[in-house]
Amino acid sequence: MAVVLMTDNNVYSFRQEVETAALLVVVLGFTYGCLVGADFVQRLLGSTGANVVSRIMGLILAALAVQSILSGFHDILPLVRLEARSLLLVVVLADPEIDALRGQ
């Protein structure tokens, strides 16, 4: 079903559709392998290690969410430049003269 949704007979050739289907099978196989091996990795890391990995993944997810929000603001408000520095969100009105003085 995913291959049908991802490819269009009017746009892509049969060869490209077959390549898409083959890549989908490879991704499904990789995902299956990760799910099958998850129990082994859980036992290898232990409870504390799994907790640490979970927290790190949450931090990465939060960083991606902030980046997505900042990109959305930038698309909606082109005159406002949002910058994330450390954990501080700085809103700066975009002024070409100030940017030139800063060297950006």
So where are the chain's domains?
2-102
pLDDT band at 72 (very low <50, low <70, confident <90, very high): confident
**pLDDT in the model for residue 1:** 63
Q: What is the pLDDT of residue 55?
A: 92
Residue 99: band (very low, low, confident or very high) from pLDDT cuts 50, 70, 90 = low
What pLDDT shows up at residue 102?
Answer: 59
CB 32 within 8 A of CB 10: no
Tally of helices (H runs) and strands (E runs) in the chain: 3, 2
The DSSP H or E segment spanning 98 is: helix 96-102
